[in-house]
A and B are shown apart, each in its own frame.
Chain A
Amino acid sequence: MTGLITMDDLTNEEILEILEDADRLLPVARGELYLPLLQGRILGNLFFEPSTRTRMSFETAMKRLGGDVVNLGDVKTSSVVKGETLFDTIQMVDGYTDIIAMRHPRQGAAQYAQDSARVPILNGGDGAGHHPTQTMLDLFTIKQAHGKLDGLKVILAGDLRFGRTVHSLSHALTRFGCELVFASPDILKMPAEIVSDLKAHGGAITETEDLYSMMEDADVVYMTRIQKERFSDEDEYAKVAGAYKLHANDLSDVKAGMIIMHPLPRVDEIHPSVDSTRHARYFEQAFNGVVARMALLCKLLGVEVPADVEKAGGAL
């Protein structure tokens, strides 16, 4: 395995192994235990697009494991504005680091970087393409809540057209035999090629505009933000903005164990009244970004996570 560009780079067995590693690393992620598995290693953080959670959680993950991080910094002050190609940027960072986490506005940039580099690339989002490290933390959150990944009913709601997190996640959930419901306004539907790919792989898929009637027997409701920045036409955005506004009152008939997830940031698709319900899981999900990325960094750098982390680690 070189890097992680799409979820196709991982088998189901590898996914489950990484999730188990992540689970054992929880006390390290919480700062309760010091375990410098990646001491002496350097992560290059290349974020060509704004990011808060992904960039910070990669940095935290590396540092919790005793590694170090170098950042590209603001794209506006880097060589990129001088016209440097991605290929050249990667050649440089490849020489400075042991592994690279990258986000780029153009689709295919992560695969392109991997083909240009010797070190592994972790795709932190490429345009409207893939976001597999987000998928790993999403899967971790789902498994944490339900104890399994297979056979669940998962609703993905909101912007399914441009939302790269739901593209990667729907592929992974299909591989684990989940039933998927895609709830979105018509102009933000899941791209047809993704739906046909999922169906070709045996995916059980329902497409609808009506989120609320589908929630009763769902195990997971995964909300996404309708991304203003992906619209070139303000009027088109205005038509669909606020299409879904999940309120605590909407949750009276749902399963007790149903969880609500969101990759964050949210706007108004989840009302703050939901935060205090037993279903809200989005802040834990954001925290899980650290532990999932810790496990991925170890995996890609060929570092084994000890079976007994408590024994291997020391007090801080």
Chain B
Amino acid sequence: MSQTFQEIIATTAVCLVALGPSAAVAEQIVVATTGGAYEKALREAWFDPFTAKTGIEVVTVAATNAEMRAKAAAMVKTGNVSWDLYLQGEIQAASEQHLLYAENLSAFCKEFSTHVDLDADACNAAGVRLLSNSTLLAYRSDAFAAAAPRTWADAWDVQKFPGGRSFPDFNDPWRVMAAALLADGVSPEKLFPLDIERALAKLEQIRPAVALWWKTGDQSMQGFRNGEYVVGQIWLTRAKALKSEGLPIAWSHAASFLVGDRIALIKNAPHRENALKLAEYWLNTPAAQAKVCEALSCKPPSGEAVKLMSPEARADMPSTTDPQSSPVIPDAKWINDNAALLLERWNAWIQQ
């Protein structure tokens, strides 16, 4: 009898010991990401080393950027917040609306303002810069024997560079209009405010050559693979992925727009302190940034991280130093102020 009792005690003790550490790991952070290769890179270089160091578990939820925005807004409005951090595009992060749902991080950013290694705006009220990237002109290098397309004007020149074209149609039309204006001879300094009428008139010229208005990154890649088009405006990460597959794909930094992602802290986040620790870890760990951008060919916010990257990865990433090929930096304020108008005019034009 006493034997059995002892057994029970022993088993209970073992169970308690087993539960102990898992109860400690119950400390966690919920991060919404866009999933896929992006999340995989973040997890390997950032989340897992962070968990190893602090014991705080990072749980991820996958959603598209638009879904994230809508869901974050709904969570804050209903007071039922289950996320801590979420990804936000640089442009949307610069909007006034963003700070209705994301916590102002100005106080948190103070400690980083003296970091000369980081981009000046790597940490601001809207959030922490994750990486910078670009949307640019990519093409099949096997389609053009002599000269390759370099500028947006070349992308419009179907005589000199024959073949199908592709442009994005994912509810964020400024980059297509901006490309049209640059092709029409507008100088990059005078690009914003965008002349919507002129842009749409220029787009009308290329419309017959457009084989696909892509909606998702996968779609933009598929058309290059099966030869539906030979010139397209796509994300650099996707162009790089095609090249890694062994496809003859090249791109031109001379026809590119700088975009990027921030990581924002949702208002009333359930694990606010831990989430800030994760953000701090990102900014203070150039090795993690370098590893992510090595995989995604992006530009990390830290100069130290850039140095840690391989020369090939550095050559692929959007440059901000070479004036001949530096990307156009969009006027986020103007785009945000005119977002509804841009989309309405775009919808009216695209469905004609």
Interaction A to B = no
Residues of A with Cβ closer than 8 Å to B? none
Which residues of B approach A to under 8 Å, CB–CB? none
